[in-house]
Structure 1
Amino acid sequence: MAYDRSYTSRIAGTGRTASPSQPEWQVDPVDADLIRRIGEIDEERLRQGRLERLRAELKKRDYAGALLSDPINIRYATGARNMAIWTMREGGRYVFVATEGPVVLFEFAASRHLGEGLASVDELRIGTGWTYFIAGPRLEEKARIWAEEVAWLVERHGGGNRRLAVDRCNPAGTTRLMARDIALFDAQEVVEQARMVKLPEEVTCLRHAMSVCDLAVDRMRAALEPGISENQLWSILHTTNITHGGEWIECRLLASGERTNPWFQECSERVIQPGDLVGFDTDMVGPHGYLADISRTQLCPGRRPSDEQRTLYEIAQEQVLHNIGLLHAGLGFRDFVERAWQVPEAYVANRYMTLIHGVGMVDEYPAIVYAQDFADWGYDGVFEENMVVSVESYIGAVGGAEGVKLEQQVLITSSGAEVLSRSPFLDALEA
């Protein structure tokens, strides 16, 4: 049976048909309950808690403050949200966080109202845009104005300390700040360390994001049938996320059939066939800006799984479950790597790039690599209670017909790792 490409008679990938008494836009009771629970987050407590963690890291390093331009960092520090994807590449929006002093948010003039009313922001100003797109040939002039504003804040609120943590700064801004005797340091270390251990409100946000993600995976599973394209199947994740106040998907990682090996092939118009493996990595920035990052591999109905498909799946599952079983607060990164599940030789060349990575508003510190990569990329550290991480596996031989991608997101506790997703393993290959 070919998939109905029109979408006009389908509701959010559930397979149910709209009727005259039930318009297509009507919210499903499941969605309505989840939306209600998402709305119960104490956003003010969330914002203040994150700001306190950030300031604690600034104080630990004896910085006068931080100047943040990355929209994820701005959101963590203030709770202010404004065109996150666009401002990842264009300047003009930034925040100064004094270690002991005010938080000054610089917004675009036309959208200044978006920062109003936030208790985490002490002062709201109009930002000075100095990327070439905004400033054009007046870039040097605008960079000078910008640097004078920033230097004034450091001088006014630094108490004589001129050490400033900065996450992004183009050459024109860097040289002008240094000319004002401002010593610049990498703010990303500060922010990543602050974000590493989650506040209780953040854990709740991550649980809500995963609930949305699990619902989307359920709907993708229900819609998977021969004739649907990769892009059509992938769109269900987006639809479900946006319906529940989610924001964007970091990558386009859904592949089927021969496109599952090697991994990291973006989804396409390929039409999925009976018996194809279909792997995807959600990378879903959900409600309140928190990430749900799991991977599943499913089997398209119409043909029983082959022995090779089952073998790939079982190996990937074994890797993820073994490594989850090792995790607990107090475990060292290096110790984990040495005890991690050993990938069979046939699949080593195509292994995933990390064993584990941190999760919060997006992928975060730490990134823990395989033992054979440790000399080049590895570092030690300790898993702490209330860290959230994703445990990765990709199993596919070089030149193999297909591959399997699995990933599970977990909360680190004193006694082990709590799996946050209810979307099960093995369901894809049950026959």
Structure 2
Amino acid sequence: MAGDQLFDTDNAVELDGKDVILRDVRAYRLARVQQQLLRHKVPAILLYDPVNIRYATDTSNMQVWAGRNPSRYVMIFADGRVVAWEFHSCEHVWDGLDLHVELRSAVSWTFFNAGHAAESRAEVWGAEVVDVFRKHAPNDCRLAVDRLDPMGAAYLQKNGLTLLDGQVLMEEARAIKSAGELVLIGESLRTCEKGIERMQRELRPGITEQDLWANLHFENIRHGGEWIETRLLASGDRTNPWMHECSARTLQAGELLAFDTDMVGPNGYCSDISRTWLVGGGRPSDEQRRLYETAYKQVHFNMDLLRPGMTFREFSDKAWKIPEQFLKNRYCCLAHGIGMVDEYPSIAHQVDWDSAGYDGQFETGMTLCVESYIGADGGTQGVKLEQQVVLTEHGCVPLTACSFETDWL
């Protein structure tokens, strides 16, 4: 079974320490962005998404806040040139990087920062962006952009630039991980596993969902992690349907507890693990064991199926068939890419293919999460499982040693 072997991220590459790994990863990631620009014949990309900026430059500045408040931006050229506009008095976040960058002061034109002067501030911003682009790409008008508010997009287009979808380029760049990236992903996963172990030690009747969930946050921050994208932890009848975020509900003995970590850990890489436990120990009921066994079968069947060279459509068609009673409450996808956050691709169930599916091909070096949620329509409990894996030339290999409840099977 492909799922029986844990990928050893500690021995993925022979490097002389963390600094060397980071240096190589930074060079690899910037080169991936350049390759996509050249492949799509686009001279430059303007990045606002904090995750894309982190990928391309390995700089991080108030990631969650910057995701809501467009306050720093970077232009990457196909020749490797980097121009960065940094937030007020934050040039220090670029210290220590082996990266030739032209640093400028960012101009923010959101209503929060500019009020009713937003339009005139956007013109100042846009004039500088257009000037930088034309200085380094005088014979082209195509600029890729990952995300941009309407006023900014309108100004650039009014001044002769043709805007292209930069998110496509960045998702494709991020899809294939280097050996060094796998080492960094492993560090994030080991931190996540510490948080899960702490949660399991604290799991007992009488604790609230929120108190239990706080243990994952504690270990993440303690070990240099960054944030957690969701609060998906539920107990008892809140496990069905899935997607309840944690609450002040008190856990009761004999009920199920399920969670999904969605944890952006050290080095900005996401650890995405789902497990389901029994509160209070003892033996689960026959119904709980049946739900768990069904979810376990789905995850491991689909892990065994995954291979480089397989198309997304082929995987969807051949994937484990969900029994009819659980189909309505199925998870939103069969599997999805994972890196710094959830990434391309997202693989639709066969039943959803016409409305949500898109084709492509699995490649060696992709990191993925294989998903399952099993809970009957109208039921009172459910099981959520998810395994993070890497695709090698031999198939699908787990990246985490976080255990399943195999004694329930």
Normalising TM by the smaller chain, what interval?
over 0.9
Alpha-carbon contact 1:283-1:294 (below 8 Å) kept: yes
| Alignment of structure 1 residues 393-412 onto 2, 5 Å | 393-412=372-391
In structure 1, the residue matched to 2:270 is 291
The verdict on how the C-alpha distance between 1:153 and 1:351 changes in structure 2, with shifts beyond 3 A counting, is: same
Which residue is 1:92 aligned to? 71
What amino acid maps onto 1:253 in structure 2?
A: L
Does structure 1 conserve the Cα–Cα contact (< 8 Å) formed by 2:369 and 2:387? yes
Q: Give the distance between the partners of 1:283 and 1:391, measured in 2 at CA.
A: 13
TM-score (ref. length: structure 2): 0.94
CA–CA distance in 2 between the matches of 1:262 and 1:429?
22
Which runs of structure 2 are paired with 1:409-424 in the superposition (5 Å)? 409-424=388-403
State the Cα distance separating 1:138 from its structure 2 match. 0.9
1:52 aligns with 2:35: no
Aligned to 1:382: 361
Q: CA deviation at 1:121?
A: 4.4
| Rounded Cα–Cα distance in structure 2 between residues aligned with 1:179 and 1:140 | 14
CA distance in 2 between partners of 1:348 and 1:101 (Å): 48
Contact 2:147 2:167 in 1 (8 A): no
Question: Which deviations, in whole Å up to 9, do the C-alpha atoms of 1:349-396 show, x marking residues without a partner?
Answer: 000000000000000000001001000111111111010000000000
Deviation digits for residues 143-201 of structure 1 (CA, Å, limit 9, x no counterpart): 00111111111111114111100011112111110111100001100000000000111
Aligned to 2:246: 267
Partner of 1:192: 171
Q: Is 1:177–2:156 an aligned residue pair? A: yes
> Which one of the candidate residues 96, 99, 105 is aligned to 1:126?
105
- Distance, in Å, in 1 between the alignment partners of 2:407 and 2:269 is 26
Q: TM-score, normalised by structure 1?
A: 0.89
Cα displacement (A) at 1:110: 2.2
Are positions 1:145 and 2:159 aligned together?
no
- How many angstroms does 1:47 deviate by? 1.2
1:227 corresponds in structure 2 to: 206
CA contact (8 A) 2:252 2:279 kept: yes
Misfit runs of 4+, over 6 Å? none
**Is 2:49 the counterpart of 1:61?**
no
Structure 1 equivalent of residue 57 of structure 2: 78
Give the whole-Å Cα distance in 2 for the aligned partners of 1:41 and 1:371: 43
In the alignment, structure 1 segments of 5+ residues that lack a partner are 1-36
RCO higher in structure (CA 8 A, sep ≥6): 2
Percent identical among aligned pairs is 47
Aligned to 2:256: 277
What amino acid sits opposite 1:143 in the alignment?
A
How far 1:320 sits from its partner (Å)?
0.2
Aligned counterparts of 2:246 and 2:408: Cα–Cα separation in 1: 21
Query: How much has 1:284 moved relative to structure 2?
Result: 0.7
- Is it true that 1:158 corresponds to 2:137 in the alignment? yes
Structure 1 residue 117 displacement after superposition: 3.8
Q: Is the 2:72–2:87 contact (alpha carbons within 8 Å) kept by the matching residues of 1?
A: yes
Alpha-carbon separation, structure 1, partners of 2:187 and 2:158:
47
2:286 to 302, 307, 319: 307
- The answer to whether the 8 Å contact 2:34/2:80 transfers is no
**Aligned residue identity for 1:185:** L
In terms of mean alpha carbon deviation, does 299-308 or 195-204 score higher?
299-308
Q: Note if 1:362 corresponds to 2:341.
A: yes
Partner of 1:88: helix, strand, or coil?
A: helix
**Distance (Å, rounded) in 2 between the aligned partners of 1:52 and 1:159:** 22
Q: Please give the alpha-carbon distance, in whole angstroms, between the structure 1 residues aligned to 2:316 and 2:130.
A: 44
1:104 counterpart = 2:83: yes
Question: Residue 319 of structure 1 aligns to a residue in which SS?
Answer: helix
SS at 1:42's partner residue?
helix
**2:367 maps to amino acid:** V
Q: Which runs of 5+ in 2 are unaligned?
A: 1-15
Q: Contact conserved, 1:410 with 1:418, CA < 8 A, in 2?
A: yes
Using a 3 Å threshold, how does the CA distance of structure 1 residues 317 and 38 change in structure 2: closer, same or farther?
A: farther
The worse-fitting range, judged by mean Cα deviation, of 348-357 and 197-206 is 197-206
- The aligned length equals 394
Mapped partners of 2:111, 2:246: distance in 1: 33
Q: Do the aligned partners of 1:93 and 1:108 also contact (CA within 8 Å) in 2?
A: yes
Instruction: Report the AA paired with residue 212 of structure 1.
Output: T
User: Which residue pairs with 1:345 in the alignment?
Assistant: 324
What residue is the counterpart of 1:245 in the other structure? 224
Give the C-alpha shift of residue 248 in structure 1: 0.6
C-alpha separation in 2, matches of 1:197 and 1:39 = 21
Whichever residue aligns with residue 211 of structure 1, its letter is R
Which residue of structure 2 aligns with residue 27 of structure 1? none
Residues 229-269 of structure 1 deviation map (CA, whole Å, 9 limit, x = unaligned): 10111011111111111101110000000100000000011
- Tell me the residue number matched to 1:333: 312
